[in-house]
Amino acid sequence: MNEKYDLIVIGAGPGGYVGAIRAAQRGLKAAVIEKDKPGGVCLNIGCIPSKSLIHESNNFRLIPSLKELGVKIDAEEFDYRKVFERSRKAADTLSKGVDYLLKKNGIELIKGIATLKDSSTVLIDGDRELTARNILLATGSHPRQIPGFEFDHKQILSSDDALMLTKLPKSICILGGGAIGVEFAHIFNAFGVDVHIVEMLGHLVPLEDDDIAAELQKSFSKRGIHIHTLSKATTLKKTKTRCKITIENVEKNQETLSVDQVLVVVGRVPNTGKLGLENSGIQTDKGFIPVGDYYQTCSTGVFAVGDVVASPMLAHVASKEAQIAVEFMAGDNPQKWLDSNHIPSAVYCEPQIASFGLTEKQAKESGIPFKKATFPYRGVGKSVAVGSPEGMVKIIFDDKYKEILGCHLVGADATEIIHELLLAKKSELLPEDIASMVHAHPTLSEAVMESMRAVEGWAVHV
C-alpha cells in the first residue's frame, strides 16, 4: 500500500519533531519515521540527560559548603546509580512529551528504519512505502571514533556509554576538550573521579574566546582536573582493569596516563551513510548533506536539517533550520539561513560558558576595526552574595559604530544571561541601550549592563 503525505520527516530529534509540528501548524499532513525513541539524541542521549547529571553534580558540590554551616551530611551511602536513574527519568519524561505533542498535532509517528527510494518515496524497514510532496531528512549524528581508541563500551566509552554508566570509575581520561568533554569532566570531577582531559588544540573549548577558555581552565585546574592541551593520545594498552594511554604534546614530550576508563568525545559523524541518498541523486560532502538557502537539497522536494548539514551541531540550530525549511515548503517567506553570528553556544559545566558572534581572534582575522570591553563577575553584588565570583563578560564591538560583534560570558548562569545580549544584537541595539536600561539589583545580569557601560567607558563597579 502506498500512503500519501505532504511531508515525511525522517528522524524525531529536535530537527525532525519540531519540523513536523510546524508543518502541522501550517496545515500540512505530516508523518515522522523514527527508529528509536522520540526526541532523538538531544532528549534521550545528549542535552537532557547530560544536563540532569550536571544538575546533580552541582548539588553534590554544595556538600562542603553545607558542612561549613554545620549541616551533617553522610555521603557514605551515596549511590551514583540514583543520579543515573534521575537522568533517565528526565529523558523519558521529555521523550514521552514529544510523543504527546506529535499526537496532539495529528502527526503520525511511525516506528522503523527509513530509507529514500526516490525523491518522493520513503521505504520503512525495506517494505512499507510512503510518498510525499516533501521529505525532511533529520537523522542526526553519532559519536566519532579515533583509530586505535575504538569504543568497546566498557573501558573505551562514547558519550552514549558515559551517559549510561551506573557506576563511576575512579579515574578517567577524556579525549577531546570541546563542550561535551568539559561537561563530562565537570560531572566526573564533582563526584570525586580523577579526571584527565587531552585536547589537541591550544585550549579547552577551542571554539570559544581565548580569555573565556583561560577562565575555565583556571577554575578546572583549581578543582584538580588535569588538563593536557596541545597534546594528542597516541597509543593505548588495555589490561582487564586499566587503560594505559600515551599522550604526546607538540614538543614531542610523551607521558603515560593509567586510568580505569577512557571517554572519547572528539566530534560527531552525520547519519547519512545508510539513508539511500544516492536513490534521489544526493551526494554528501564529508558526510554532510549540501543544502541551499532554505535547507533544500539538490533533489527537488527533499530537505535536510540539523546534524546532517554542515552547521553547528546543536539542538536549537536543528529546530530553527527545520522551522525555516518547513515554512518554505508551506509557501511562506521565512528568513534565509541562520546567521551564524546570531547562534548562541552554551556549555553547562561550572563555570558555565555562553557566547555568540566573533571571538577576539576572529575579529582580528576579519580586519574589522574593533575594540573589546570586559567586566568581571565579582564586580556585581549577586555574584559575591551567592558565592560565584569567578567569571566575566567580554564584549567585542565595532570601533566606529559600536555595533555588537561578539559576546562571551563565563560564570554562573551564563547560559541564561546570554539571551539579553543576543536580543540586543538581533534588534540592532547599541551598547548604550543596555548600559542605560535599569537592571534589577542584585542580579548577575548587572554584569551584562556593566560590560556595556565598559564599552561606553563608564563601568561603575570596577
Residues between 107 and 136 that touch ligand FAD (CB under 6 A): 113-114
Sign of CA dihedral 23, 27, 33, 36: positive
Binding of ligand FAD at residue 271 (CB under 6 A)? yes
As a whole number of angstroms, the distance between CA 185 and CA 221 comes to 11
Q: Which of 313, 349, 404, 407 binds ligand FAD (CB under 6 A)?
A: 313
C-alpha cell recorded at residue 37: 525513541
Q: Which of 26, 35, 133, 371 binds ligand FAD (CB under 6 A)?
A: 35
In angstroms, what is the minimal distance from the CB of 425 to ligand FAD? 19
11 vs 391, beta carbon nearer ligand FAD: 11
Residues between 188 and 227 that touch ligand FAD (CB under 6 A): none
Q: Which stretch binds ligand FAD (CB under 6 A): 8-16, 69-77, 293-301, 406-414?
A: 8-16
In angstroms, what is the minimal distance from the CB of 159 to ligand FAD? 4
441 is catalytic: yes
Binding of ligand FAD at residue 172 (CB under 6 A)? no
Binding of ligand FAD at residue 168 (CB under 6 A)? no
Sign of CA dihedral 112, 117, 121, 126: negative
Q: Which residues pair with 9 in a beta bridge?
A: 32, 136
Binding of ligand FAD at residue 50 (CB under 6 A)? yes
In angstroms, what is the minimal distance from the CB of 269 to ligand FAD? 11
Where b means 16+ CB within 10 Å and e means fewer, 241-255 reads eebebebbeeeeeee
In angstroms, what is the minimal distance from the CB of 140 to ligand FAD? 2
Q: Which stretch binds ligand FAD (CB under 6 A): 23-31, 40-48, 375-383, 426-434?
A: 40-48
As a whole number of angstroms, the distance between CA 391 and CA 187 comes to 19
In the block, which residue shows the cell 604526546? 248
173 vs 347, beta carbon nearer ligand FAD: 347
Residue of 196, 316, 441, 461 marked catalytic: 441
In angstroms, what is the minimal distance from the CB of 160 to ligand FAD? 7
Q: Which residues pair with 396 in a beta bridge?
A: 372, 406
State the helix-helix crossing angle for 80-104 and 16-25, rounded to 10 degrees.
Answer: 30
Binding of ligand FAD at residue 9 (CB under 6 A)? no
Binding of ligand FAD at residue 175 (CB under 6 A)? no
CA nearest neighbour of 187 among 158, 163, 205: 163
In angstroms, what is the minimal distance from the CB of 315 to ligand FAD? 4
∠ at Cα 452 (449, 453), nearest 5°?
85
In angstroms, what is the minimal distance from the CB of 180 to ligand FAD? 5
As a whole number of angstroms, the distance between CA 298 and CA 292 comes to 8
Binding of ligand FAD at residue 306 (CB under 6 A)? yes
Q: Which stretch binds ligand FAD (CB under 6 A): 35-43, 94-102, 215-223, 326-334?
A: 35-43
165 vs 313, beta carbon nearer ligand FAD: 313
In angstroms, what is the minimal distance from the CB of 298 to ligand FAD? 20
Question: What's 397's DSSP letter?
Answer: E
As a whole number of angstroms, the distance between CA 153 and CA 262 comes to 10
Q: Which stretch binds ligand FAD (CB under 6 A): 7-15, 209-217, 371-379, 448-456?
A: 7-15
Residues between 407 and 446 that touch ligand FAD (CB under 6 A): none
**Residue 11: C-alpha distances to residues 100, 275, 329 (Å):** 16, 11, 18
Binding of ligand FAD at residue 41 (CB under 6 A)? yes
Binding of ligand FAD at residue 12 (CB under 6 A)? yes
Binding of ligand FAD at residue 304 (CB under 6 A)? no
Q: DSSP of 53-97, one letter per residue? A: HHHHHHHHHTHHHHHHTT----GGG--HHHHHHHHHHHHHHHHHH
Binding of ligand FAD at residue 33 (CB under 6 A)? yes
39 vs 376, beta carbon nearer ligand FAD: 39
Backbone angles phi, psi at 82, to 5 degrees: -70, -35
As a whole number of angstroms, the distance between CA 372 and CA 454 comes to 9
Q: Which stretch binds ligand FAD (CB under 6 A): 4-12, 230-238, 375-383, 416-424?
A: 4-12
**Burial degree of 109 (CB within 10 A; 0-12, 13-18, 19+):** middle
In angstroms, what is the minimal distance from the CB of 461 to ligand FAD? 31
Sign of CA dihedral 42, 174, 172, 143: positive
Binding of ligand FAD at residue 376 (CB under 6 A)? no
Cis status, amide bond into 351, omega within 30 of 0: yes
Residues with a known catalytic role? 441
Catalog residues that contact ligand FAD under the rule CB under 6 A. 10-16, 33-36, 40-42, 46-47, 50, 113-114, 138-141, 159, 180, 271, 275, 306-307, 313-316, 318
